[in-house]
Amino acid sequence: MGRDSGKAVSRWLQVWLEAGRDGQVFTYANPLDLALAPGDLVQVRLRGRRHSGLVVEVLQDLPAELAGRALQPVESLLQPAAVSAAWQQLIDQVAGDCHASRFQTLKSALPSGWLGQRLQPPVRAPRPAWQIEGPRVPLEGLRLTPAQASLLHDLEAAGGAKPLAELCAPGAHSRSVLTSLERRGLVGRTTLGAATMPTQSPRALNSDQQRAVAAITAAAPGQALLLWGVTGAGKTEVYLQAAAGCLAQGRSVLLLTPEIGLIPQLLDRARSRFGAAVLEFHSAMADGDKVASWRAALDPEAPRVVVGTRSAVFLPLPRLGLLVLDEEHDASYKQDSPMPCYHAREVARLRARQSGAVLVLGTATPSLETWLSCSQGHTTLLRLPQRIGERPLPPVRLVDMRQELAEGHRRLLSRPLLERLQQVCQRGEQAVVLVPRRGYRAFLSCRSCGEAVLCPNCDVALTVHRGREGREWLRCHWCDHRQNCGDHCGHCGSTAFKPFGAGTQRVIEQLGEELSDVRLLRFDRDSTRGRDGHRQLLERFAAGEADVLVGTQMLAKGMDLPRVTLAAVLAADGLLHRPDLRASEQSLQLLLQLAGRAGRGELPGEVLVQTYSPDHSVIRHLVQGSYGDFLDQELDLRRRGGLVPLARACLLRLAGPSASATATAAAALASRLQPGVERAGWVLIGPAPAPVARVAGRSRWQVLLHGPAAAAIPLPPEPDLRSALPVGVTLAVDPDPLEL
Ligand code: ADP
Ligand code: ZN
Ligand code: ZN
């Protein structure tokens, strides 16, 4: 329908549809004079089909290329102001900062499936959700199927009640089993809102905690604070009490954690304090549940405490009073792909300023970025220097593996470590052991020609995994390709292979051989599959089902297990010597976090680190517990080297079907950008193949831009940047990348 169609056209609208290509918006006419505005959810037709779409812009004049074209009108208004003007501003700002399109950013920020739905007006009260209670009679002597028994045991373990959505989540119990138990009267249901009344009252704070809560409560709108508290200092209690103050003023709270595995613990603690005011929002939820949380968050009358992971930073809470990023140093707060490659910490800073909320960054090991921000006066430092109950931090003991070797002990597990593990178990205490890699063996290599067995799709060696019956196969940790170990070398035909490096499976096997009567449990991505895998495994360990938990990095993150008195690291060296600018910072953070798992309860703890480099500065700071000094020194080093965060970097990542096409595209991009980069006083480095030059069959190249801190990244606007890329080659812009 064009200008001369005779109908009164007040405006032209740009509408974003999920059905469109990346970055594409469609122009529609508004003949109904609905006075539509950006943020309205509307229904339109595209190629004969109905779609819901978001009005992203109102045009007074039609772009020249569309002048005179017949434009269809918007069919109807589904929901006015489905996203607020302030929220759209946030999206535009994030898109701009990350050199992503508004479309990509919207797609990242909105729960998937949201646009496909017909929206109702914001809900006033949370939709009644069911909670299942039971078992209502003793289970002894009952005839139950294994599935029924397992469901009842789960309920029992959860203290007699569990939300239906959780009990019957995909991968958990089936609805039909629940129905059969309901029919027999063994379980019953109540509404979740009614049942989740707060059950826990706030704890009496120690003086450091009191000071922290007072400072957060008194902080100016938009202010950022770093809550630097040692592991076990009671940071979560500070968050919860600050959140209570916020709720009391009718304002909402965003409580973010970097790890999906930490959600259950935080959710339990928040629910026991705030009951039905708590919403969850994270990637392990079903689309429908996410949309429900999103909608509940829109209600300005009902202040919420949202517990979520990275993407929850975009939830459009209308009256936001407090944002908390727990474990603010964690790399999971950064999105690598797809674009926008945003950092939740930076989005949180924007949101805090925009909505006059207070931002609290909590951690035992602050990131260098946040430390710098403190030293520049942009972030206020709050300290919790002591553990709750003045419990001591566990001392760190080193095992010099060079000496072990010199004394003829070539085993993976040193004598002191085995001794300590045995003692811990004999005393009925528990230990956690960090192994940097999952699987059985790091890789296989050929005894004749020395070549490792590589993934056919990626430039990495395949990892050996082992099944229950001892059968071994190979797996790629990058693309998940699986294959049999094979019987001859693809290079020279030799049939002799030699495995190298130990993963969690091999460590468990060796511990089993060396220690008698020690019960072992494995904690890695392979053993914690499914939505509740993480939680279930930790519950089993907390219940005393095993003495030693052997796991990967996941082990170090945030868990609170009072009977753990020993935290051990098998091969610290693998962490220290990575070729990355942040290797020192990240490995010290990991080691301190792991150390923080020991001695959290009444019993004192100890940390044991096996290393070939006991003199490494990271190990020294670990032993001395001098993280603040480490940060100062590291900042000084980076300042003198002109490195991030005292400078800025931006990584352009290209991927394409062949090495030559990708290399050519990278070279063309680099020479196109070079003049602008130079003009801005920046430096362009590369192009060069990515550290792993091929993943899942796609070749990867990169170009690095380096420039002054706080300066804008000298890149042309989004469509121009991509315009000259050959078909099949993709480009991702990663501002302030975490890996360099
Ligand atoms: P962090 O997050 O700093 O590592 P947590 O918040 O997990 O520490 O607190 C450690 C333990 O101390 C938890 O079991 C918590 O319930 C308990 N705790 C926190 N604050 C207090 C307090 N004021 N009094 C008693 N116990 C507390
Ligand atoms: Zn060979
Ligand atoms: Zn692979």
Which three-class secondary structure state does DSSP give residue 602? coil
Q: Are both 460 and 520 inside the same structural domain?
A: no
Distance 462 CA to ligand 3 centre (A): 8
Least confident span in 310-319, 510-519, 676-685: 510-519
Distance 477 CA to ligand 3 centre (A): 7
Q: Are both 221 and 178 inside the same structural domain?
A: no
Distance 75 CA to ligand 3 centre (A): 47
pLDDT digits (tens, 9 = 90+) for 376-388: 999 999 999 998 8
> Which of 59, 26, 60 is closest to 43 using CA atoms?
26
630 within some domain = yes
650 with 386: CB under 8 angstroms? Answer: no
Q: Which atom of ligand 1 is nearest to the CA of 235?
A: 3
Indicate whether residue 206 lines ligand 1 (CB < 6 A).
yes
Indicate whether residue 479 lines ligand 1 (CB < 6 A).
no
| Token duo for residue 526 | 């392979």
> Which of 190, 186, 177, 78 is closest to 130 using CA atoms?
190
Indicate whether residue 257 lines ligand 1 (CB < 6 A).
no
Q: Which atom of ligand 1 is nearest to the CA of 205?
A: 23
Output the domain CATH number for residue 401: 3.40.50.300
Cα–Cα dist 124/75, whole Å: 27
Q: Total structural domains in the chain?
A: 6
Least confident span in 90-94, 471-475, 687-691: 471-475
Cα–Cα dist 566/564, whole Å: 6
Q: Are both 379 and 402 inside the same structural domain?
A: no
Which residue, judged by its Cα, is nearest atom 21 of ligand 1?
234
Distance 690 CA to ligand 3 centre (A): 15
- Residue 6: which pLDDT band, with cuts at 50, 70 and 90? very low
Res. 350: pLDDT tops 80 = yes
Res. 5: pLDDT tops 50 = no
Q: What is the CA radius of gyration of the chain?
A: 28
Res. 127: pLDDT tops 50 = no
SS (H, E, C) 620-647: HHHHHCCHHHHHHHHHHHHHHHCCCCCE
Which of 454, 484, 501 terminates a domain? The answer is 501
172 with 531: CB under 8 angstroms? Answer: yes
Cα–Cα dist 504/537, whole Å: 15
Per-residue pLDDT at 193: 46
Cis peptide before 135 (omega within 30 of 0): yes
184 within some domain = yes
Burial of 418 (0-12, 13-18, 19+ CB in 10 A): middle
Per-residue pLDDT at 609: 94
What type of residue is 730?
A: T
In Å, how far from its chain's centre is CA 416?
Answer: 35
Indicate whether residue 233 lines ligand 1 (CB < 6 A).
yes
| Token duo for residue 247 | 């709720």
Indicate whether residue 498 lines ligand 1 (CB < 6 A).
no
CB within 5 A of ion ligand 2: which residues?
A: 446, 448-449, 489, 491-492, 494
117 within some domain = no
The CA–CA distances, whole Å, from 205 to 143, 208, 239 equal: 49, 8, 12
Q: What is the mean pLDDT of the chain?
A: 86
Res. 124: pLDDT tops 90 = no
Indicate whether residue 388 lines ligand 1 (CB < 6 A).
yes
Alpha-helical segments (H) within 462-613? 504-514, 533-542, 573-576, 583-595
SS (H, E, C) 684-720: EEEEEEEEEEEECCEEEEEEEEEEECCCCCCCCCHHH
114 within some domain = no
pLDDT digits (tens, 9 = 90+) for 692-728: 888 888 999 999 999 999 889 998 877 778 878 888 8
Regarding beta strands 252-256 and 320-326, do their DSSP bridges make them parallel or antiparallel, or are they unpaired?
parallel
605 within some domain = yes
Q: Are both 612 and 525 inside the same structural domain?
A: yes
What type of residue is 474?
A: L
Least confident span in 117-131, 176-190, 389-403, 661-675: 117-131
Output the domain CATH number for residue 56: 3.40.1440.60
Cα–Cα dist 62/501, whole Å: 64
Q: Are both 612 and 471 inside the same structural domain?
A: no
- Residue 191: which pLDDT band, with cuts at 50, 70 and 90? low
606 with 618: CB under 8 angstroms? Answer: no
Which residue, judged by its Cα, is nearest atom 13 of ligand 1?
234
Strands (E) in 5-40, as ranges, are: 12-17, 25-29
Cα–Cα dist 282/300, whole Å: 21
Cα–Cα dist 190/46, whole Å: 44
Cα–Cα dist 87/320, whole Å: 12
Mean pLDDT for the stretch of residues 418-431: 92
Indicate whether residue 404 lines ligand 1 (CB < 6 A).
no
Q: Are both 32 and 145 inside the same structural domain?
A: no
More confident residue, 143 or 113: 143
Res. 123: pLDDT tops 50 = no
- Residue 558: which pLDDT band, with cuts at 50, 70 and 90? low
Per-residue pLDDT at 198: 60
Angle between helices 344-355 and 85-97 (to 10 degrees): 140
237 within some domain = yes
- Residue 192: which pLDDT band, with cuts at 50, 70 and 90? low
Mean pLDDT for the stretch of residues 353-359: 96
Mean pLDDT for the stretch of residues 425-444: 87
495 with 488: CB under 8 angstroms? Answer: yes
Mean pLDDT for the stretch of residues 46-68: 82
Which of 636, 668, 687 terminates a domain? The answer is 636
Location of structure tokens 């002054």: 708
Per-residue pLDDT at 161: 81
pLDDT digits (tens, 9 = 90+) for 396-411: 999 998 888 888 877 8
Indicate whether residue 235 lines ligand 1 (CB < 6 A).
yes
| Sheet with 161-163: strands ordered across | 161-163, 130-133, 188-191
561 with 541: CB under 8 angstroms? Answer: yes
Cα–Cα dist 142/135, whole Å: 11
81 with 54: CB under 8 angstroms? Answer: no
Q: Are both 337 and 384 inside the same structural domain?
A: yes
Per-residue pLDDT at 116: 58
Per-residue pLDDT at 206: 93
Q: Are both 248 and 307 inside the same structural domain?
A: yes
Res. 540: pLDDT tops 60 = yes
524 within some domain = yes
Q: What is the DSSP letter of 488?
A: S
573 with 534: CB under 8 angstroms? Answer: no
More confident residue, 498 or 378: 378
Indicate whether residue 599 lines ligand 1 (CB < 6 A).
no
Per-residue pLDDT at 264: 83
Contacts of 456 (CB under 8 A, 6+ apart): 481, 483
Mean pLDDT for the stretch of residues 589-606: 90
Location of structure tokens 């100890």: 606
Q: Are both 446 and 595 inside the same structural domain?
A: no
Mean pLDDT for the stretch of residues 459-485: 85
Q: Are both 538 and 629 inside the same structural domain?
A: yes
What type of residue is 630?
A: F
Least confident span in 41-50, 140-149, 462-471, 525-534: 525-534
pLDDT digits (tens, 9 = 90+) for 162-182: 888 888 888 889 888 988 888
Q: Are both 358 and 384 inside the same structural domain?
A: yes
Which of 54, 82, 109 terminates a domain? The answer is 109
Per-residue pLDDT at 118: 47
Per-residue pLDDT at 531: 63
Distance 529 CA to ligand 1 centre (A): 29
- Residue 624: which pLDDT band, with cuts at 50, 70 and 90? very high
What share of the chain in percent tops pLDDT 90? Answer: 39
Cα–Cα dist 302/450, whole Å: 64
Per-residue pLDDT at 665: 92
Cα–Cα dist 67/409, whole Å: 81
Mean pLDDT for the stretch of residues 104-108: 85
7 within some domain = no
Location of structure tokens 């908390």: 324
Res. 20: pLDDT tops 70 = no
Q: Are both 679 and 564 inside the same structural domain?
A: no
More confident residue, 116 or 161: 161
Regarding beta strands 430-434 and 564-569, do their DSSP bridges make them parallel or antiparallel, or are they unpaired?
parallel
Indicate whether residue 234 lines ligand 1 (CB < 6 A).
yes
More confident residue, 4 or 428: 428
Q: Which domain holds residue 492?
A: 441-501
